Amino acid sequence: MLAGTVASLVAPTALGLGAAPAAAHGNGNHGKPDKDKGKPDKNKVRRLTMYAEALPGGLVGYGLEPGKATVPGPTLEMWEGETFEITLVNTTDKRLSLHAHGVSYSHDSDGSPLNASFNEPGQSRTYVWRTHAAYTTKGGQWMPGSAGYWHYHDHALGTDHGTEGVKVGMYGALIVRRKGDVLPDRQYTVAFNGMSINNQVAPNVPVFEANEGERVEFVAIGHGNAFHTFHLHAHRWANNRTGYLTGPNDPTQVIDTRDLNPGDSFGFQVIAGEKVGPGAWMVHCHVQSHSDMGMGGIFLVADKDGSVPEHAQAALHRYQGHAHP
Amino acid sequence: MLAGTVASLVAPTALGLGAAPAAAHGNGNHGKPDKDKGKPDKNKVRRLTMYAEALPGGLVGYGLEPGKATVPGPTLEMWEGETFEITLVNTTDKRLSLHAHGVSYSHDSDGSPLNASFNEPGQSRTYVWRTHAAYTTKGGQWMPGSAGYWHYHDHALGTDHGTEGVKVGMYGALIVRRKGDVLPDRQYTVAFNGMSINNQVAPNVPVFEANEGERVEFVAIGHGNAFHTFHLHAHRWANNRTGYLTGPNDPTQVIDTRDLNPGDSFGFQVIAGEKVGPGAWMVHCHVQSHSDMGMGGIFLVADKDGSVPEHAQAALHRYQGHAHP
Amino acid sequence: MLAGTVASLVAPTALGLGAAPAAAHGNGNHGKPDKDKGKPDKNKVRRLTMYAEALPGGLVGYGLEPGKATVPGPTLEMWEGETFEITLVNTTDKRLSLHAHGVSYSHDSDGSPLNASFNEPGQSRTYVWRTHAAYTTKGGQWMPGSAGYWHYHDHALGTDHGTEGVKVGMYGALIVRRKGDVLPDRQYTVAFNGMSINNQVAPNVPVFEANEGERVEFVAIGHGNAFHTFHLHAHRWANNRTGYLTGPNDPTQVIDTRDLNPGDSFGFQVIAGEKVGPGAWMVHCHVQSHSDMGMGGIFLVADKDGSVPEHAQAALHRYQGHAHP
C-alpha cells in the first residue's frame, strides 16, 4: 500500500478527452493483476463475457461485468495452448467488435466488417481466440508459438477499421504466456493513443505504482494517427518477446526507448527501482511536442515497505500541479 | 487456381495515382515466383537487362523485357556469393537510375547522381551488385553475409534522392538467400508507398492470393514521406532476417505488426491459413487515417484445392464494392 | 590523413540553424576517439567536468573544457561496472540539465525538473551515472548489463522535457562497453535532430571520414518532432546491441536502414569500404522530403593510405556545390 496520495482523475482536458471516472480507469487496483479471467476447462477453453459500454465523456470501454467497463480495457491473459471464447455484449447503439492481434481466429472471429464479424447495436457475439505452443509442421518447418504481448481492440465502430472505437477507448492488452514465463507482481497497460496515454494527458495520466523490488510488467500499445517513442526513466529491457535476455551470450539490444506506433504492441518486465532506488520515474513519449503537450505519466516506485520517499512525493506534487497548454 | 473472381484494376483513384493496366501490375501470375531471372554462369554471375519504361497514368516501372514494366518491379533473387550484372535501359526522356539496399556495389554502381551513377535519357548502364556469404576478416571479425529481404529503387528521377522515381513506381524487391533458406510457393511485394500499397488504394490494391497450406513470402518495402505500420490479420512471424524462429530457445519477438517506413524493408514467410483456415485476410497500414483512406488490401487464402469459400467471396465483394473518401 | 579537401562549415542555413564554428563541431579530429574522458580510479569511478556553453547562432553545447563546447557534445565512454561522476557547469543564463539513457541514476541525478534535478543559471551540479555487468537477482532473474549505445541530453532548457535544449544542440553519445567489445579506429555521432544532422543540413553536414579497412563506429541519435529512417550506402550491420552477428547461427536481421526517432539511439561498427572500396558514401534520412531538404551527409572512405580517389573528390565537390531549397 502506498502511503502517499495518488493523483485523482479530473475534468476533461482541453484535448477533448472524456473524463473517465476513477472506477472506469483501466489498470485498476494499483496494477495488481486480476487472475480471475475465465478459468480454463479441461479442454483448456476459457469462457468470458465482455461488455462494451458507453462511459462518461464520450468514451466506450470493455469490461468484464456490466457497469465495470474501463479504459484501457481489462488485461486478458492466457497460456499457450488455451482458447478464449469471449462473448461480447454490445450495450451501445452503434456497431462495434473485438479484434485480436497475435492469436489464431477463424474468419467469423476476425472482428472486421469485411468478414461480417462484428456486433450490431444491442447484439451479443462470441469471438474465439485459439493459441498453440511452438510446433513443427509436416514439412519440417519450426513454427512459433502464440506467446507474446499482444492486444485487442474494436474494428467496427466509426469505420471499417474501428477508428472511432480505438479513439474513444476500446482497446486492451492480451498476454499469451509460454510455460516458464514469470508472472509479475504488478501489471500496467500503457497505451499511446493519439496524443494521450490511456486516453488521458498529464497531469491526469494515472500513476503506475509499485514498491521497490517488485516485478512490474508493462504492456505498451499504440493507436491512432501519430508516431510515438515510448521512454521510461531509470529502467531498461531487452528488445525481444519478454524483455529479458536469455543469458550472457544473448546479443539483443537492451533499450529504454522504443517506437510505439498505431497497431503495434510490446511488453517487458522490470524490477522496480533496481539499481536506482525509489522515485517518481517519468514514462513518456519522447517526441518533444508530444511530451510537452502532456503525453507523460509517472512510474511511482515507493520503498520496499510501500512508503513514498519525500523526494518522490515532491515530484508527484509537481506533476499534479502543472497544466499543459 | 482460384475459382472466384479477383479484383480487376480500375480507373485512377482520387489520390491521383496512375491506373496500371493489369499487365503492368507487379506480383503478376498470382504470386508464382518467376525463377528465370538471369541464370548464374560458372563464376556465379547473373546477367540481366532491365527496362525503365513509362506506364499509363504517369507511372514509371522496371521490367525484364520491353513493354513488360510493372509496379512494383520484378522481384530479383540471388544466392549469397552470386553477382548481378544488370544493364538498365532507360527508355524514358528523364534521367533515372538503379540503387540497391544491402548488396555490395562500387561507387560507379551506387545509383546516385552524387556518384555520377545514373542513366541519362535513352542511355543504358550496367550496375553490378555483389554478394557474399558470412566470413571472418583478417582481424578475426565475423562479418554478416549479404542475405536479407532487400529492395532496389530509382535514385535520380526528379531529385538526387529519386523522389519522383519512387513516387511513380520505380521500386521492387531484392531477395538475397542463404544456403538452406526455403523457397516459397508464392511471393508478393507489398510496398507502402506514400499513401498507397503498390501505387494503388482500396479497392484496387491487387489481391494477394494463395491456397491454404502454401508457403507464402511477403517482402514489405516502405517509400515516401509518411510513417506506416504493416499489419496482417490471422498470421504472424518472427522479427528477424527470415521471419522464422531458429528453435525453442529463440527469444525473438513474434509479431503481426511492424513499422514500415521510407527506405526500409523486411520479409517473412507464412503458411497460408495455418491454424486459421481460408479467408479474406486483411493486410493494411494500421495508422487509422491511412487504412480509412484506402491503404489496405486482402490476402485471399482459398481452400487447399483452390476454391474460394463463400465467406471469403462475400468479403471480396464487400472490399470491391466500397469506395474510399 | 586525407589528401582531399573536407567541407568547411559555412553560414547559417535557411532553416535557421546556427553556424557552428569548426572548433565547435562535434566529431572533431576526423573521428579519432578521444580516450581521455575521465580515467577511472581504483573504485572504477570516472570524474569529469562538463561545461554547458552558448555557441554562435543560438546553439548551446556540452564541452569537456571551457570554451570547447561542441554539437554534438563529446562522446562519453565507459565500461560496464564503472561510474561517471559528471559535474556540469552551467555557464548560461537559463536552467538546463544532463539526462542519460540506459545507465543507472538515482532521483537526484535524473536530470529532470520533475525531480528537481537540474542546474540553475550559473550553477554547478554533479550527476552520477552507474553501470553494471549482467547479473542474476536473488530471485534468479538474469538481468542485462548496462552495455549499449546510449545517449545524453538536456531535459530542462525551455520545457520540462528539454525541448529547447535538444533543439539547439545539447546532446551527445554515451557508450557503455562490455568486456570483449572491440574499440573502433574512428567514431562518429550522427544525430537526426529535427530536420538536421548534427544541427546542420547539406552541404554543411560535416564529412565522416575514414580510410578503407578502418573500423568505424557510428552512434545514431534521434531528437525532435519528426520521424526518420537512417540509411547508409554500401555498408550494413546487424540489428542488435553491437551491430555484429555472434556467429553463423545468429538469425538477427542485417540492415542498412533503420528507424531513428526522437529519444532513440543505436550504434554499430563497419569496416570502411569493405567489399565496396573507397568512395563518397551517402548517409541520409530516407524520408524523401527530408533528404531533399538536406538531411544527408557523406561517409568519405579514402584509400588505405588516406588518399581520396578522384571519383570521391568529384562526389564531394558535387555535394558541396549544391544548395537545398
DSSP letters, B217-247, are EEEEEEESSS--EEEETT--EESSSSSS--S
Q: Is C288 within 8 Å of B110 when comparing Cβ atoms?
A: no
CA distance B268 to chain C (A): 11
The residue among A25 and C19 whose pLDDT is bigger is A25
Interchain proximity B246–C248, CB inside 8 Å: no
Whose grid coordinates read 472486421? A112
Give me the pLDDT at residue C2, please: 31
How many whole angstroms separate alpha carbon C170 and alpha carbon B130?
A: 41
Contact assignment for B282 to A252 by CB distance below 8 Å:
no
Q: How far is C227 from chain B (nearest CA, A)?
A: 7
- Which of A158, A242, A220, A108 has its CA nearest to residue B234? A108
State how beta strands A186-193 and A208-211 pair.
Answer: unpaired
Amino acid at A279: G
pLDDT higher than threshold 80 for residue C235 = yes
pLDDT attached to residue B323: 56
Do C263 and A231 lie within an 8 Å CB cutoff? Answer: yes
Summarize pLDDT for C238-295 with one digit per residue, the tens.
999 999 988 888 889 999 999 999 999 999 999 999 999 999 999 999 999 999 999 9
Distance separating the N- and C-terminal Cα atoms of chain A: 33
pLDDT score recorded for residue C16? 33
Note the pLDDT tens digit of each residue in A196-223.
999 999 999 999 999 999 999 999 999 9
| Banded pLDDT at C139 (limits 50, 70, 90) | confident
Using an 8 Å CB-CB cutoff, list chain B residues near C278. 107
Please give the residue of chain C at the shortest CA–CA distance from B135: C248
CB A20 within 8 A of CB A56: yes
Find out whether B158 and B164 touch, Cβ atoms under 8 Å: yes
Is pLDDT at C306 greater than 60 in this prediction?
A: yes
DSSP A235-302: --EESSSSSS--STT--PPEESEEE--TT-EEEEEEETTTTT-SEEEEEEE-SHHHHHTT-EEEEEEE
CA distance C251 to chain A (A): 11
Q: What is the mean pLDDT of residues A11-37?
A: 53
| pLDDT tens per residue across span A228-256 | 999 999 999 999 999 998 888 888 999 99
Q: Which residues of chain B fall below pLDDT 50?
A: 1-23, 325
**Mean per-residue pLDDT, C5-31:** 44
Among B229, B232, B286, the strongest candidate for a mutation testing the A interface, having the largest count of A CBs within 10 A, is B286
Query: What are the residues whose beta carbons fall under 8 Å from the beta carbon of B243, sequence distance 6 or more?
Result: B237, B267, B268, B269, B270
Q: Please name which of C324, C124, C315, A154 lies closest in space to residue B107, comparing C-alpha atoms.
A: C315
Q: What is the pTM of this model?
A: 0.93
Give the 3-state secondary structure of residue B284. Answer: strand
Closest residue on chain B to C182 (Cα): B141
Average pLDDT of chain A, as a whole number: 90
Confidence of residue A9 (pLDDT cuts 50, 70, 90): very low
Nearest neighbour of A259 by CB, restricted to C223, C238, C259? C259
Residue A21 grid cell: 471516472
The predicted pLDDT at position C23 comes to 42
Partner-chain residue, chosen from B288, B311, B312, that has the shortest CB–CB distance to A224:
B288
- C244, C259, C319: residue with CB nearest B142: C244
Contacting partners of chain B (3+ CB pairs under 8 A):
A, C
What's the gap in Å between the CA of A48 and the closest CA on chain C?
33
Phi-psi region of C99 (alpha: psi -120 to 50; beta: other; left: phi over 0): beta
Mutant choice from C227, C229, C233, C308 vs B, greatest count of B C-beta within 10 A: C233
Q: How far is C243 from chain B (nearest CA, A)?
A: 10
By the 8 A CB rule, do A264 and B286 touch? Answer: yes
Gap from A12 CA to chain B (nearest CA, Å): 23
Chain A CB contacts of B244 under 8 Å are: 141-142, 144
Determine the average pLDDT of the residues in C112-130: 98
> Is residue A7 predicted with pLDDT exceeding 50?
no
Residue A37 pLDDT > 80 = no
**Could C319 and B239 be called an inter-chain contact, meaning their C-beta atoms sit closer than 8 Å?**
no
Q: Which residues contact B245 (CB under 8 A, 6 or more apart)?
A: A134, A142, A144, B238, B252, B254, C251
Q: What is the pLDDT of residue C171?
A: 98
Helix (H, G, I), strand (E, B) or coil at C296: strand
- Closest chain C residue to the Cα of A313, Cα to Cα: C115
Instruction: Tell me: cis bond preceding B72? Omega within 30 of 0 counts.
Output: yes
pLDDT band at C20 (very low <50, low <70, confident <90, very high): very low
In this complex, do C257 and B250 lie within 8 Å of one another by their Cβ atoms?
A: no
Check whether C115 has a pLDDT greater than 70. yes
Please tell me which of the candidates A236, A271, A290 has its beta carbon nearest to residue C137: A271
Interface test with A, best of C107, C152, C160, C255 (most A CBs within 10 A): C107
A contacts of B311 (beta carbons < 8 Å): 107-108, 115-116
CB-CB neighbors (< 8 A) of C212 in chain B? none
Residues of B in contact with C255 (CB under 8 A): 148, 264
What's the pLDDT tens digit per position in C155-189? 999 999 999 999 999 999 999 999 999 999 999 99
Q: Which three cell numbers stand for residue A323?
A: 497544466
First to last CA, chain C: 33
Which helix (H) or strand (E) segment holds residue C247: the answer is none
Residue A26's pLDDT band, with cuts at 50, 70 and 90, is: low
Q: Which residues of chain A lie closer than 8 angstroms to B308, CB-CB? A: none
CA–CA min distance C306, chain A (Å) = 34
pLDDT in tens, B303-312: 999 999 999 9
Name the least confident of A9-13, B35-39, C28-32, C303-307. Answer: A9-13
Chain B residues lying within 8 Å of A161, measured CB to CB: 284, 288, 291-292, 296
Amino acid at residue number C128:
V
Burial class (CB in 10 A: 0-12, 13-18, 19+), B186: buried
pLDDT tens profile C28-84:
678 887 765 678 999 999 999 999 999 999 999 999 999 999 999 999 999 999 999
> Across the interface, do A107 and B277 touch by the CB < 8 Å criterion?
yes
Question: Any idea what DSSP says for residue B205?
Answer: S
What is the SS3 assignment for A197? strand
Cell of residue B146, nine digits: 549479404
Minimum distance, in Å, between the CA of residue C124 and any CA atom of chain B: 41
Q: Are C120 and C90 in contact (CB under 8 A)?
A: yes
Confidence (pLDDT) at A1: 30
| DSSP secondary structure code for residue A318 in this structure | H
> Looking at the predicted structure, is the pLDDT value of residue A299 above 70?
yes
Q: By CA distance, what is C107's nearest residue in A?
A: A279
Sign of the Cα pseudo-torsion (C237, B100, C196, C298, in order)? positive
**Closest CA in chain A for residue C153:** A286
pLDDT tops 80 at residue A293? yes
Q: Are residues C271 and B143, on separate chains, in Cβ contact within 8 Å?
A: yes
pLDDT of residue B204: 96
Pick the residue from chain A with its C-alpha nearest to C129.
Answer: A276
Residues of A in contact with B254 (CB under 8 A): 102, 144-148, 241
How high is the mean pLDDT of chain C? 90
Find chain C residues with C-beta within 8 A of B223's C-beta: 288
> Predicted ipTM?
0.92
* Residues C239-250 as b or e (16 or more Cβ within 10 Å = b): bbbbbbbeeeeb
